[in-house]
Amino acid sequence: MSIEVLTAEHVAFRYAGTPVLHDVSLRVEAASMVVVTGANGSGKSTLLHLLAGVEEPTSGSIRRRTGCRLALLPQRTSGIDALPLTVAECVQIGRFTPWRRLGRSDRAAVATIMERLDLGPLAHRRLRELSGGQRQRALLAQTLVQVADIYVLDEPTVALDAASRLHVHELLAERVRAGAAVIFASHDTTDATLADRTVRLAGITGGTLLAT
């Protein structure tokens, strides 16, 4: 039996009166991978922000299954460069909670994800001194080290070389096999081959098209 973890029903969204999404409906199940595609400006990031609860729909509803934890990797992450963080600290942030110190299992999870994303040699480098792909791997590690039922990732592989992209595909497929839902935006056709379901946003001028 499939468990629905996120549901969007007849969602519309406007930025200051400019319509971006119209009548978007989507069901996301546990242990499934959904890839959101569409041209620049078609509303992929907007849809992911709505699904993650960062923005509220102008009309329609977004429902998350009670108790489901969500981790988000936004497309724009330049704000974090203002902090003098090392790669290791950036990844550790993914396990921070206000009520306790990082424990042994947190440190093990940080070490594992850093190894999987080949971040060991970069552990003590400042985030803002990295190449685009290295930086993207560090931010991916920060997101994937989180314990979540739903991972929402906005173009997570855009800066990655072929080998790193493959590692990320393996990591995401593992999360899905372990029962998580993964929703990610991408322009890349190899990313789309991972999907159980593809959602294509056609943009508001042509009406928002959802293909499954």
What residues line the site for ligand ATP (CB under 6 A)?
15, 20, 38, 40-46, 75
Smallest separation, CB 174 to ligand ATP (Å): 26
Name the DSSP letter for residue 130: S
User: Which of Mg ion, ligand ATP, none does 136 bind, CB closer than 5 to 8 A by kind?
Assistant: none
Outline where 23-146 has alpha helix (H): 44-52, 87-93, 104-116, 132-144
Instruction: Considering the complex, state which of residue 32 and residue 45 has its C-beta at the smaller distance from ligand ATP.
Output: 45
Binding site for Mg ion (CB under 5 A): 44-45, 75
Pairing relationship of beta strands 33-38 and 197-201 according to DSSP bridges:
parallel
| Alpha carbons 87 and 71: distance in angstroms, whole number | 18
Residue 105 gets the label, from left (phi > 0), alpha (psi -120 to 50) or beta, of: alpha
In the complex with Mg ion, the residue whose CB is nearer, 102 or 209, is 209
Q: How far is the CB of 104 from ligand ATP (least distance, A)?
A: 39
| Residue 132 main-chain phi, psi, to 5 deg | -60, -45
In the complex, the smallest distance separating the C-beta of residue 31 from ligand ATP, rounded to whole angstroms, is: 26
Q: What is the DSSP letter of 126?
A: B
Closest residue to Mg ion using C-beta atoms: 45
In the complex with Mg ion, which residue's Cβ is closer, 44 or 137?
44
The minimum distance between CB 83 and ligand ATP, in angstroms, equals: 23
CA dihedral 167, 170, 172, 174 (to 10 degrees): -140
- Residue 46 binds which entry of Mg ion, ligand ATP, none, CB below 5-8 Å type-dependent: ligand ATP
| Closer to Mg ion by Cβ: residue 92 or 136 | 136
Smallest gap from Cβ 188 to Mg ion, in A, equals 13
Binding partner of 43, given ligand ATP, Mg ion, none, CB within 5-8 angstroms per partner class? ligand ATP
Q: Report the distance separating Cα 171 and Cα 11, nearest Å.
A: 30
CB of 43 to Mg ion, least distance (A): 8
Of the two residues 12 and 68, which places its CB atom closer to ligand ATP in the complex? 12
Q: Cβ closer to ligand ATP: 6 or 88?
A: 6
**In which order are the strands placed within the sheet that holds 18-29?**
18-29, 4-15, 59-64
- The helix (run of H) or strand (run of E) holding residue 13 is strand 4-15
